[in-house]
């Protein structure tokens, strides 16, 4: 049984691992808000968690704040505005250079919100990034977290989505279907529906207002119900990832 940061319990069927893998999470503003919240809560002046050898690790601190440190050595966050931007490509390469066992993408919402978005182009970019991480950097598993809905609230008389709310919804549903289908055909890929955003326990669809005050981001304020829900969703993805983590890389060290 693993205890959650806000008191929830998640049952796991495996003991603490003797080999603890490294995970990178790549996304837009929400992963960025999450690790900044951890930084603000840390009493270590941003140095991270002190390890047994006297060094400091921010990734180990993030794993501890996510209550997965019994199973994961480090969790690193990288962010960029859009999937098809140079900054995102740089983030992917930076993640690969960290030699992670698993990379988790929670991205694409900003791309889907643009007026001229081509969903399949965004989807193909994500799959290409995953393929590159696996073949060039030796990443064992790449995971895709589901894109969330958006409802948009006008700011200064103008909406912040480049497309209609209904169009964004259709795009989000399409890319989620494409990613889910792609992952069915590869043992290296995994798709995860982030809990608490699309449907409730009775499989009834949740309105965006249930978890977002700005109708765009979970929360978005630290301490809000929506932000806590996002924290638990990311933690949920990490716990699902553990059975996949590091298997090929772990075995290769003994061959």
Question: 229 and 212 in contact (C-beta within 8 Å)?
Answer: no
Q: Count Cβ atoms below 10 Å from residue 162 Cβ, excluding itself.
A: 14
pLDDT in tens, 157-213: 445 677 888 888 899 999 999 999 999 988 899 999 888 777 777 777 777 777 777
Whether 67 shows a pLDDT value over 80: the answer reads yes
Question: 120 and 178 in contact (C-beta within 8 Å)?
Answer: yes
Residue 145, classed as helix, strand or coil, is strand
Strand pairing report for 2-3 and 9-10: antiparallel
- Predicted model pTM: 0.82
Between residues 143 and 3, the one the model is more confident about: 143
pLDDT attached to residue 155: 52
pLDDT in tens, 2-58: 333 333 344 444 555 567 889 999 998 888 888 888 777 654 445 555 656 555 678
**53: Cβ contacts below 8 Å, ≥ 6 apart:** none
**166: Cβ contacts below 8 Å, ≥ 6 apart:** none
Q: Walk me through the domains of the chain, giving residue ranges and CATH numbers.
A: 18-252 (3.40.50.1110)
């Amino acid at each position: 049984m693993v205890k959650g940061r806000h008191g929830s319990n998640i049952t796991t069927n495996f003991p603490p691992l003797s080999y603890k893998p490294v995970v990178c999470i790549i996304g837009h503003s929400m992963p960025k808000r999450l690790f900044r919240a951890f930084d603000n809560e840390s009493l270590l002046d941003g140095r991270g968690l002190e390890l047994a050898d006297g060094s400091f690790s921010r990734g180990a601190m993030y794993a501890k704040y996510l209550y997965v440190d019994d199973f994961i050595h480090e969790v690193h966050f990288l962010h960029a505005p859009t999937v098809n931007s140079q900054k995102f490509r740089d983030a992917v390469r930076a993640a690969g250079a960290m030699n992670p066992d698993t990379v988790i993408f929670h991205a694409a919402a900003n791309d889907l919100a643009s007026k001229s978005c081509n969903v399949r182009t965004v989807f193909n970019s994500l799959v290409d990034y995953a393929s590159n991480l696996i073949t060039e950097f030796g990443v064992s598993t790449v995971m895709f977290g589901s894109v969330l809905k958006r409802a948009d609230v006008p700011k200064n008389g103008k909406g912040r989505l480049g497309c209609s709310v209904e169009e964004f919804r259709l795009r989000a549903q399409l890319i989620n279907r494409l990613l889910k289908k792609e992952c069915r055909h590869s043992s290296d890929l995994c798709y995860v529906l982030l809990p608490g955003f699309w449907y409730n326990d009775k499989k009834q669809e949740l309105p965006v207002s249930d978890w977002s005050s700005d109708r765009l981001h979970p929360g978005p304020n630290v301490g809000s119900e929506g932000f806590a829900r996002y924290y638990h969703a990311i933690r949920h993805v990490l716990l699902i990832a553990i059975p996949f983590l590091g298997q090929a890389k772990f075995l290769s060290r003994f061959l």
